[in-house]
Amino acid sequence: LPQNHDQNKRLFLGCNWKCSIETTDEVDELCDALNRMWRSLTKDEKRKVELCVNPPFVYLDRVRMRLTGEISLGSQNVFDARGPNIGNTGTTTAKMLRSLGCSSVLLGHSDRRNNLYETDELISDKLKKALSAGLGVTLTIGELPYQRRWGLALVALRKQLSVAMKGIEPDEWNRIVIAYEPVWAVGEGATPCSPEEAQRIGSYLRRLITKRVSPDAAAACRLTYTGSVNEKNAAEYASLEDVDGFVVGRAGLDTTSLRSIIYTLASSSE
């Protein structure tokens, strides 16, 4: 098994590289910087925080070869087709990802939901495939700006999570990281969600899982916040009861920011 598989008691820090890095030289450079940063951490920080990087498919093998095995590897997607793996030229199966040393996949990101029109049903289908292949899933859910304006944030989140949770077996919840990503809070120039709101949503999601599935499932999964998290604001979220980590975009490409966010997360947990 990949080294960090199932270490769900650790706080989670996912790094979604998106398509930010487009050359192998830059990939190697970032991997080397990540290795140096990881070596500089204390034992306690390493024990408390799981760092997971999510490069594009084409770099996964290269990153796994170059990066310390103590940093988890996740893909940004899996198998873009519904149904069995027959005649799906150009897709990537969960088994392929497992064999490369991935421990998880990122699913449901707003880029894929909103720009590539992925439905809740397709995401749920992919989630089942990933889990049954033994992978973990970082499931991103989030409301669009208009849904927030109209007071429909919880309705949107409930729908996205409800469809996804149908595909999760009771004993698989410890392989789930839920990333709450208010879409209006992502990317350059966006205002991050306030810590109060992130906690309100986190606690709502935890209660929803408790009610619909079980208290064990709600305790086993990790709830993270994502959207403009950086070294300056991480502390405001890290102390929240229902925030067990972050998924970062831009900050994940800068190892000085990552170092600081890991310090903040580790200091927030006893």
Cα within 13 Å of Cα(227), Cβ side:
27
Stretch near ligand G3H under the rule CB under 6 A, chosen from 62-70, 78-86, 92-100, 249-257: 249-257
Running DSSP on this structure, what letter comes out for residue 168? -
Q: Please say which residue, 16 or 75, places its beta carbon nearer to ligand G3H.
A: 16
Is 26 part of the annotated catalytic residue set? no
Within the chain, residue ranges assigned H as helices are 24-39, 43-48, 60-66, 94-99, 110, 120-132, 145-149, 153-165, 195-212, 215-220, 234-238, 255-268
Is 118 part of the annotated catalytic residue set? no
Q: Which of residues 229-248 bind ligand G3H (CB under 6 A)?
A: 229, 247-248
Q: Which amino acid is at 252?
A: G
77 touches ligand G3H (CB under 6 A): no
Place of tokens 């007071």: 151
Nearest distance from C-beta of residue 252 to ligand G3H, angstroms: 7
141 touches ligand G3H (CB under 6 A): no
56 touches ligand G3H (CB under 6 A): no
Check: CB of residue 142 under 8 Å from CB of residue 104: no
Interior CA angle at 42 toward 45 and 137, to 5°? Answer: 35
Q: Which amino acid is at 181?
A: E
Q: How many residues bind ligand G3H (CB under 6 A)?
A: 14
Q: Please say which residue, 66 or 250, places its beta carbon nearer to ligand G3H.
A: 250
Q: Which of residues 142-171 bind ligand G3H (CB under 6 A)?
A: none
- Phi-psi category of 128—alpha, beta or left, where left has phi over 0 and alpha has psi -120 to 50? alpha
Q: Which of 250, 254, 259, 267 binds ligand G3H (CB under 6 A)?
A: 250
226 touches ligand G3H (CB under 6 A): yes
Using CA atoms, how far apart are residues 47 and 116, in angstroms rounded to an integer?
A: 37
255 touches ligand G3H (CB under 6 A): no
Q: Please say which residue, 53 or 217, places its beta carbon nearer to ligand G3H.
A: 53
The CA radius of gyration of the chain, in Å to the nearest whole number, is: 17
Nearest distance from C-beta of residue 171 to ligand G3H, angstroms: 27
What track of x and - describes contact with ligand G3H for positions 172 through 211 (by CB under 6 A)?
---------x----xx------------------------
Binding site for ligand G3H (CB under 6 A): 16, 109, 181, 186-187, 226-229, 247-251
